[in-house]
């Protein structure tokens, strides 16, 4: 392989990893759905007149150019499915069911039973949601100029694109922010210069005291009461003079690493765990953590994935199973990929690899590689398939088949890495 081909492989891996890291699929789905909803009424009036349509186009262009339209939101509840929400309107989830606020930029805020909140402000870049009481789940879709805030008491959570839970106990005056994905910055009393939080961390602030206290720990650590100034004194008495009191709560884990964020001592978030990624095997696969990816895909429903994913994802899913040495699941994913795309060459090749490497069924492996070479004689894996066909025939004890495979190999790849082996086989 030439240096430029190597370089292009690196470029491909980098740009595709970047795109995948940004998790575009949910955003694109939400935007397509929003677009569809906006277009429906336009279709209904299409036949009225050309002039009307032109006016709509002009208005649309003006809208996009000026970008002044604020995001809007709908409220989904038991008795209010899809009603348009209003800024300032107090929203309280009922005793036994949740309330969802769905914003036109694809973001969503969910109020669990008994939680209270209201939308403080909206503009063309996002919204400000105020949590009055309880813990709300927030999922913000990232855009180039997203400006989202969640307010809880005197605290502000500045959001770009992320998922987290924000809790405000009005009676106890405590704030809890639990990060699921992405990062936020929290500002307010006791949080000097803003406190950044990243995936897997949880911030708890007790704002009731004259000197508010804050603590950051792992999001999956057991729930504890918000720290009190007294507890802070016990842990770090020197910190309680000019600065707000600070306390660190930790669960015992090996190799802890501490750092300081403003006046708050924090602990680096533990490695991301399965539950925090919503069983998204892709995230693990992108990091080459194949066993974790395999476990996540099994957990989320392997058969569903095989029924729904496209050929490229199915091949990745099959690879994840193959690297985890699970032949059955690998085969099911590759077979699904074959059904999805008859022109995809990789599933055929990898089915041969499963038979060869995992099942040690060299007859079946040979048949797969033979099938690959017949269907994709100039495919990108043809040389490897020809070599593995030769190996499969030899291991299966099929001397006649091995000589045929060796002859074919030498004709197609006279200078290939197995050329000498092929010559030896032909000469037998």
Figure out which of the listed residues 236, 243, 279, 357 binds another protein, where binding follows CB under 8 A: 279
Site string for another protein, 144-183 (x = CB under 8 A): x------------------x--------------------
Site string for another protein, 81-110 (x = CB under 8 A): -xxx-----------------xxx-xxx--
Dump strand ranges (E) for 26-115: 73-76, 83-84, 90-92, 99-103, 108-111
**How long is the chain?**
428
Closer of 221 and 286 to another protein (Cβ): 286
Chain-centre distance of CA 82, in angstroms?
27
Of residues 41-80, those binding another protein (CB under 8 A):
69, 72-74
- Closest to 361 (Cα-Cα) out of 324, 398, 416: 398
Of residues 391-420, those binding another protein (CB under 8 A):
none
Figure out which of the listed residues 52, 88, 113, 301 binds another protein, where binding follows CB under 8 A: 301
Q: How far apart are CA 214 and CA 189, in angstroms?
A: 9
Closer of 100 and 408 to another protein (Cβ): 100
Closest approach, Cβ 106 to another protein, in A, equals 6
Tokens of 298: 């099994």
DSSP, res 142: -
Of residues 125-144, those binding another protein (CB under 8 A):
139, 141, 144
Q: Which residues contact 273 (CB under 8 A, 6 or more apart)?
A: 200, 220
Residue showing tokens 């309680």? 240
Closest approach, Cβ 335 to another protein, in A, equals 12
Figure out which of the listed residues 342, 374, 415, 420 binds another protein, where binding follows CB under 8 A: 342
Closer of 66 and 307 to another protein (Cβ): 307
Tokens of 66: 């000026």
Closer of 321 and 382 to another protein (Cβ): 382
- Nearest 5°: phi and psi at 317? -60, -40
- Mapped onto helix, strand or coil, the DSSP state of residue 207 is coil
Going 416 to 420 to 422 to 423, the CA torsion angle's sign is positive
Figure out which of the listed residues 343, 400, 420, 428 binds another protein, where binding follows CB under 8 A: 343
- Nearest 5°: phi and psi at 336? -65, -40
Closest approach, Cβ 23 to another protein, in A, equals 9
| Size of the residue set binding another protein (CB under 8 A) | 71
DSSP, res 312: H
Of residues 24-43, those binding another protein (CB under 8 A):
24-35, 37-38
Of residues 302-321, those binding another protein (CB under 8 A):
304-305, 307-313
Q: Is residue 64 exposed (0-12), middle (13-18) or buried (19+ Cβ within 10 Å)?
A: exposed
Figure out which of the listed residues 256, 291, 325, 339 binds another protein, where binding follows CB under 8 A: 339
Q: Within the chain, what is the greatest distance between any pair of CA atoms?
A: 91
Q: How far apart are CA 371 and CA 203, in angstroms?
A: 57
Closer of 77 and 212 to another protein (Cβ): 77
Closer of 103 and 284 to another protein (Cβ): 103
Closer of 69 and 193 to another protein (Cβ): 69
Closer of 2 and 210 to another protein (Cβ): 2
Applying CB under 8 A, does 224 fall inside the site for another protein?
no
- Mapped onto helix, strand or coil, the DSSP state of residue 220 is coil
Closest approach, Cβ 297 to another protein, in A, equals 10
Measured CA to CA in angstroms, residue 74 lies from 91, 166, 247, 312 at distances of: 12, 20, 40, 36
Applying CB under 8 A, does 278 fall inside the site for another protein?
yes
């Amino acid at each position: 392989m030439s240096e430029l081909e190597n370089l292009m492989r690196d470029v491909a891996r980098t740009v595709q990893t970047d795109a995948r890291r940004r998790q575009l699929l949910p955003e694109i789905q939400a935007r397509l759905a929003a677009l569809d909803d906006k277009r429906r009424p336009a279709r209904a009036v299409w036949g009225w007149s050309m002039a009307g349509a032109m006016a709509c186009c002009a208005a649309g262009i003006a809208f996009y150019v000026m970008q002044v339209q604020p995001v809007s939101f709908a409220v989904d509840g038991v008795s209010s499915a899809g009603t348009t929400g209003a800024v300032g309107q107090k929203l309280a989830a009922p005793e036994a069911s949740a309330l969802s606020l769905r914003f036109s930029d694809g973001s969503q805020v969910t109020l669990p039973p008994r939680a209270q909140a209201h939308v403080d402000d909206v503009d063309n870049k996002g919204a400000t949601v105020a949590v009055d009481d309880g813990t709300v789940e927030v999922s913000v879709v990232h855009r180039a100029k997203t400006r989202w805030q969640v307010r809880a008491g005197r605290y502000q959570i500045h959001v770009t694109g992320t998922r987290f839970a924000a809790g405000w106990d009005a009676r106890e005056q405590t704030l809890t922010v639990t990060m699921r994905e992405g990062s936020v910055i929290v500002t307010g009393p006791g949080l000097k210069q803003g406190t950044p939080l990243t995936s897997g961390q949880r911030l708890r602030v007790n704002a009731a005291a004259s000197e508010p206290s804050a603590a950051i720990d792992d999001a999956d650590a057991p729930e504890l009461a918000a720290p009190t100034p007294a507890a802070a004194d016990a842990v770090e008495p020197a910190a309680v003079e000019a600065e707000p009191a600070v306390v660190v709560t930790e669960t015992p884990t090996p190799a802890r690493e501490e750092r300081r964020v403003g006046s708050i001592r924090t602990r680096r978030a533990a490695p991301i765990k399965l539950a925090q990624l919503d069983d998204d095997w892709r995230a693990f696969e992108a990091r080459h953590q194949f066993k974790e990816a395999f476990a996540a895909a099994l957990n989320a429903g392997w058969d569903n994935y095989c029924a729904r994913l496209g050929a490229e994802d199915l091949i990745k899913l099959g690879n994840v199973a193959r690297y985890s040495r699970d032949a059955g699941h690998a085969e099911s994913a590759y077979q699904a990929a074959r059904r999805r795309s008859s022109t995809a060459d990789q599933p055929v090749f990898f089915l041969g690899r499963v038979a060869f490497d995992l099942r040690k069924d060299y007859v079946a492996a040979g048949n797969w590689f033979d099938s690959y070479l017949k269907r994709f004689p100039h495919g990108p894996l043809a040389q490897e398939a020809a070599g593995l066909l030769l190996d499969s025939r030899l291991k299966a004890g099929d001397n006649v088949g091995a000589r045929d495979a060796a002859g074919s190999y030498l004709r197609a790849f006279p200078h290939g890495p197995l050329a000498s082996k092929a010559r030896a086989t032909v000469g037998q």
